[in-house]
Amino acid sequence: MNRNFWVTALIAFINSLSFTILIPIIYLYGKQFGLSDLQTSLLFSTYSIAQFLATPVIGKLSDRFGRKPLLIISLIGTVIANFIAGTATTAFALFFARLLDGITGGNTSVAQAIISDVTTPENRAKGFGVYGAAFGLGFVLGPATSLLAQQISLGAGFLVSGAVALIAVLITIFFLPETIQNKAERSHNIFDLGLGNLIKGLVIPKVGILLVINFFIGTTFTIFTYAFQPYFLNVLGQNSKSLTLMFLLFGVLGILMQIWGVSILTRKFNIISILFLGLSIRSISFILMPLLPNVIYFVAISIVYSLFNSLVQPMINTLISLNAQPQQQGTAMGLNSSYLSISNGIGPVIAGMLIHQSHPITYGYPLYLAGALTFIVLLLAIFTRQSYTPKLK
């Protein structure tokens, strides 16, 4: 791996750190502006939908004008958006900041394109593995950094996130050269959002069904990711610090399982069986979580959930990669990211619509729904397994 690769991996880590600082505080910060649960769910969705629409455009622009300028622009957008959010005095400014961050949120896809530029085909899988580890480390340290920022205020978390993104901007400007060798010719379809490709992706043999399954997996996950926060705060009576510690717990357990658990399980079971196991435990966990309004009980169920849930995404990504033709790898993984982005926009809204603040019992409804839907996804995966079982040599 050359110097440009390691600089990009460092930028990926910093970008992940900046993003995950915000995850534990967006819901609570929205509440400070008097937003309802449905309105705060839209804060999550606004970012995801804007990112989904903008990422293909940013990717094409980076092919034409170069990776470096588009990465700089994307990161600067994050810096400005988080400064606006951290100093916001109205809910409108907060929504505008999330929209701006989403529109310029193509920095991850540009960084992945740089990895492709600077690695040889035989080293690419290893390169993306290191890149993923750097990104995953940010998911552990982000909540820890957020916990420190919250000692000042929730708004300070956005300012710290923006300052971290500014470090990535400076590293990109001074240490990362342009990596694309042959820029694309001018295209008349720069602003094609790629919606047609989403439909075409459904007919890719053995991959289309996996995209559908992963879309529903992502939707149930984001229903939970949003819904557990108001439940944890309002039903279990916890505060922002304990909520952030929960995210830290999820991150640490997820990394431990992916480092050691996956390698142990794949020696004894096949990929599809591990996927079914992860979905089964996720479904049961979601349904059990709201049954008893006790924080110790909830944390215990969450530990089991986090360990086995961390198996789901690596297994589905592996199946997509194994079933895609060599010349379709980039397309298949890009489509997978697009479907997950859409699910990230839908899940929080579904959860927010089910919660009614005047009826505390409704805080558990989205968790029950997430469990039921996950079970349906499991059945879909079981009944269609023959259509996506890879032929391994």
DSSP H helical segments within the chain, as ranges?
3-22, 26-32, 37-65, 67-86, 91-103, 107-118, 124-149, 154-175, 195-201, 208-230, 240-256, 262-268, 271-288, 295-309, 312-323, 329-354, 365-383, 385-388
Please check whether the domain covering 1-182 is classified as CATH 3.40.50.300: no
User: What pLDDT, on a 0 to 100 scale, did the predictor assign at position 12?
Assistant: 85
How would you label 89-125 residue by residue, b for 16+ Cβ within 10 Å and e otherwise?
Answer: eebeebbbbbbbbbbbbbbbbbbbbbbeebbeeeeee
- Segment 287-307 shows an average pLDDT of 96
pLDDT at 152 over 80: yes
pLDDT tens digits, one per residue of 370-381: 999 999 999 999
Higher-confidence position of 63 and 163: 163
Q: Where are the domains of the chain?
A: 1-182, 194-387
- Segment 249-258 shows an average pLDDT of 84
CB 371 within 8 A of CB 246: no
Q: For residue 302, which of 377, 232, 349 has the smallest C-alpha distance?
A: 232
Amino acid occupying residue 327: Q
- Segment 183-190 shows an average pLDDT of 56
How far apart are the C-alpha atoms of 353 and 41, rounded to whole Å?
A: 9
Q: Is 194 left (phi over 0), alpha (psi -120 to 50) or beta?
A: left
Tell me whether domains 1-182 and 194-387 share a fold: yes
324 falls in which pLDDT band (50, 70, 90)?
confident
Please check whether the domain covering 194-387 is classified as CATH 1.20.1250.20: yes
State the pTM of this model: 0.84
Interaxial angle between packed helices 208-230 and 271-288, expressed in degrees from 0 to 180 and rounded to the nearest 10: 30
393 falls in which pLDDT band (50, 70, 90)?
very low
pLDDT at 51 over 50: yes
Q: Is 269 left (phi over 0), alpha (psi -120 to 50) or beta?
A: beta
Amino acid occupying residue 235: V
pLDDT tens digits, one per residue of 273-283: 999 999 999 99
* Residues whose CB is less than 8 angstroms from the CB of residue 156 and which lie 6 or more positions away in sequence, other chains included: 86, 149, 150
Taking CA atoms, 97 is separated from 102, 143, 253, in Å, by 9, 20, 31
197 falls in which pLDDT band (50, 70, 90)?
low
How far apart are the C-alpha atoms of 336 and 204, rounded to whole Å?
A: 12
Higher-confidence position of 254 and 101: 101
